[in-house]
Structure 1
Amino acid sequence: MKKILIYMVVLSTIIVAGENYGHVNGDKITDKDVQVLLGRPIDLNMLPQNDKKKIIDQIVKRKLLVKDAMKSGVANKKEFKEALNDLKEGLLLEYWMQQKMKKIKISYKEQKDFYNKNRKSFTQKEVLKARHILLDTQSEAKDLINKINKSSNKKSAFIAFAKSHSKGPSGKNGGDLGWFEPKSMVPEFSKAASKLKKGTYSKVPVKTNFGYHIIYLEDKKSRGVASFDDSKIKIQKILAERKLMKVIDKRVDVLKKTANISIK
């Protein structure tokens, strides 16, 4: 049951169609297809062109094979219908648990008490909060760095230049990358970002396979015990899962009283 519960929590994220990357016989290729294929959401525009093409090619193959399988009549076979029914039952149970989970309330005191009793288990990896401007050439990057250097409000200038010059999808948001672990970025980017001090930016363009970056480090959290505020989401999830298991066990006890159960 615990494995089902964890899987259910993962599935609670709603998959939306999102960006259109093309189509196969009129069927659009969207972010939903990417998430179904990879098992997690990812912005294809942040990947190198070659990797993006490989993923889209896999989605195309999948769509073609699904259509071909439907035409073959396999969906009418008894074995398929039985397997489909098993999947429906599993999905029904997961959806039912989602609805129960939505009704569960976790008080601030419960969260705080749990944190205080388990403080050492809430470790925090090094994370960075940064912005970047992505450009095609080194000369473009150097030119923008010089302009930022001359600005009285360097952060505001950086955000403005990101919106007007950055080639990356984060440009429209002022280059905001949010919080991330260094290892989640390409090595050259991570190394340069980790060396920066809070409120500073790279004075030399950082070259990666995407192009040339100018990086602004907004904040940094060192490795160690995570604060209560940084642990709240994890705590809420743990406590909600525990309460849900109690709800499920209680409901099963009620159902058993009126059920006709025979075990051989």
Structure 2
Amino acid sequence: MKKLSITARASLLALAIPLLHGCAEPGKATGEGADAAGNVAIVNGKAVPRSRVEVLLQQATRGGQPKTPELEAQVKDEIVLREMFMQEAEKLGLARTADYKAQMELARQSIMIRELFNDYSKKNPVTDEEIKAEYDKAKAQQGGTEYHARHILVEKEADALALIKQIKAGAKFDELAKAHSKDQGSGSNGGDLDWANPNSYVPEFGQALTKLKKGEMTETPVKTEYGYHIIKLEDTREAGFPSLDEVKPRIQQSLAQQKLAKYREDIKAKAKTDYKFSQ
């Protein structure tokens, strides 16, 4: 029989379910030992409440496990075995050790922090309007028309004007790019920038590019923070872009993570402390 596993975060004491399965066949323990009060079992005179099973099942299904009779039976097995092991640990006085108390404090913090963020996410869900706005923004930046361009980047405007004059006189654009362009990445390839959306460039460059027709070159140098550009448009094409339905789950997850990150930073910013974070 295939053994199921419960996510590691579901187990605060890090007991591995696969190690416990040999004690009882899943299915056989279901309902056995349960009483009218809703307890799963009685271990050495102490009741094991059903509520523990529900909590662990909830953790398991939240982590992606489907809720099946087999999983429920295995969770019951673990809950009962945990009670047995806990009673033995308490009998040995392990709950009074410093190491146990330190680990319990860390576990308490982890649970509280997780609940804090879960509570925030429930109260601040990502809306359809936010998803649509993010989709439209990405589509504007990455979709639409793509441009295949070349450019030559030089430091001085006079140098750019001289190169434009040479190109008009018959010099080859790609050869001049290899010889003179400061942009080593594209210069070695004849100034080729490949296909890209104009929004991926600095504004001055992108605006000048969209004004060109296929085969045209800028008549005057285009100044940006990097220097002076001579831009040539090789061709254009319509870029494909996925539908909103295709990318909605990914956008929703990304926005949820961004909201949580901001919430974390807000808490950090308003806290008063003399501690200096390393990052």
Q: Same fold by TM-score, threshold 0.5 exceeded?
A: no
Question: With structure 1 as the length reference, what TM-score do the two structures score?
Answer: 0.39
Asked which structure has the greater CA Rg, the reply is: 2
Report the structure, 1 or 2, having the larger helix content.
1
Greater relative contact order structure (CA < 8 Å, 6+ sep):
1
Question: With structure 2 as the length reference, what TM-score do the two structures score?
Answer: 0.37
